[in-house]
Amino acid sequence: MADTKLVWTSDPEAAKQLRNEGKLETPKDVEPSKQTVRVALDRKRRAGKTVTVAAGFQHTPSTLEQVAKTLKKKCGSGGTAKDGEIEIQGDHAEKVAAELAKLGYRVKR
């Protein structure tokens, strides 16, 4: 019986623990000055199109979207934010690196 998992209980504390058991921790926002972001150009899996990739962000998805929106406006290009990375369409590595440095991030190329 030691390997069995609790399925239901009337104890409010145990029920709360049971509900929270499967949830993953959401990423916490880390201030930009404590983050090192890598900026690189990428063509792989993109049919030869060049994409500027900024990786290494430690933000919640909503904050990452805000940073991506700022970068897309600055570059005048489309892009996306997913999996802790921001992808900007086109060769905008210099603009992205400069803007991230202005926002307070440590940038590596």
Domain 28-108 has CATH 3.40.50.170: no
What's the pLDDT tens digit per position in 18-72?
666 665 555 678 898 889 999 999 998 888 899 999 999 998 889 999 999 999 9
What's the pLDDT tens digit per position in 57-98?
998 889 999 999 999 999 999 999 998 899 999 999 999 999
3-state secondary structure (DSSP) of residue 82: strand
Q: Locate the domains of the chain by residue range.
A: 28-108
Sign of CA dihedral 53, 54, 60, 62: negative
Buried b / exposed e over 57-75, threshold 16 CB at 10 Å, is bbbeeeebeebbeebbebb
Q: Where are the alpha helices (DSSP H) in the chain?
A: 12-20, 61-75, 93-102
